[in-house]
Chains A and B, each alone.
Chain A
């Protein structure tokens, strides 16, 4: 399994950080540190995720990786 920390700006729709960790516990600790760093930024989403591969993560959480135009392109 791979473990990720994503930091995402909801307003601009851009991914600010995509770091990988060896364990989910390490990713969660990194998330807690990042939450402290962005504590006064409600538009910043800090999330720790696990997946077999980054490709799987990009498929199930494509919102963080693609713009809205690309998301709608996927459907149509």
Chain B
């Protein structure tokens, strides 16, 4: 399976896609042809994984928005080597040794391809709280990233993604929470809402402060998951961690209450809608 354009052309395309003016229609069409080729490789990998391992993976092609976000963070470099344009996810109710076992079988399933699978262990080197094992496989030479997650790792990742939707996606890379509105935008929108701009600015400051607390609590939670995994690694075979995990889950109640509070519909959502229309 061949890509429709060369690697160097893909890299140049990524550079142009990161320009502030937006994406040229011809470049968008070219990018979509590249994604279509990745999609064919992903279908192959999905079928092989499902049939070979007896698991139920799901798959996705990286969205245009998140691809562009990534390119903007890297100043337009790295599209040709972006390993998660095509991705699969496997979530299983197992512990650390079960996760290791599945990763080994997955690696063996793809080790006859033209490039050997590449292991990225985000349990050993977490990414801002995110924990999982990623295996990049190369069916037909095109990279497909397979995320292998335990249930706890997965639920944490889901919750943090959702939090990032609310308080700024940069928290996934260690950035400060950001509501995404400038003070000028809030002042402009305040007259439409017939609200005192100072009240809205104060609401935004409160939201940022609450967001910092939420992010901190989430990272503490990720550390706790890490501790449980370390215990699992050190425990004798057959040791039952159900009680430990149940106890851990109970500690999350206060965090859930705080997150519920943050989720409440508020002025900021309405404000975002108005600002979007003003833009």
Contact = CB atoms under 8 A, between A and B. Distances in A.
Q: A and B: partners?
A: yes
B46 interface: yes
A73 B260 CA distance: 10
B252 A13 contact: no
Contacts of A74: 155
Given A50-B59, A56-B56, A75 B250 contact: no
A63 B253 contact: no
Interface residues on A, range: 35 or more
A10 B91 CA distance: 23
B9 interface: no
A41 interface: yes
Contact of A42 (B57, B65, B154): B65
Most buried by B among A44, A67, A72: A72
Contacts of B56: 51-53, 56
A11 B46 contact: no
A49 B259 CA distance: 28
Given A11-B269, A24-B39, A52-B56, A75 B156 contact: yes
Given A72-B256, A76-B252, A49 B58 contact: yes
Given A10-B165, A11-B272, A68-B162, A61 B259 contact: no
B249 interface: yes
Nearest to B89: A60
B158 A62 contact: yes
A25 interface: yes
Contacts of A44: 65
A30 interface: no
B63 A45 contact: yes
B84 interface: no
Given A72-B255, A73-B256, A57 B58 contact: yes
Nearest to B218: A72
Given A41-B276, A68-B262, 19 more contacts: A1-B46, A11-B166, A24-B59, A25-B36, A42-B65, A45-B66, A50-B59, A52-B58, A57-B58, A59-B91, A60-B58, A60-B90, A60-B154, A61-B60, A68-B263, A71-B159, A72-B252, A72-B255, A76-B252
30 contacts: A11-B166, A13-B263, A24-B59, A28-B36, A31-B61, A32-B32, A35-B64, A42-B65, A45-B63, A45-B65, A46-B64, A48-B61, A49-B58, A49-B60, A50-B46, A51-B58, A51-B59, A52-B58, A56-B58, A57-B58, A59-B91, A60-B91, A61-B89, A62-B158, A68-B163, A68-B166, A72-B259, A75-B256, A76-B249, A76-B252
Interface of B: 32, 35-36, 39, 42-43, 46, 50, 56-61, 63-66, 89-91, 152, 154-156, 158-159, 161-163, 165-166, 249-250, 252-253, 255-256, 259-260, 262-263, 269, 272-273, 276
**Interface pairs A-B: 4 shortest CB-CB:** A76-B252, A10-B165, A72-B256, A51-B58
Interface of A: 1, 10-13, 24-25, 28, 31-32, 35, 41-53, 56-57, 59-63, 67-69, 71-76
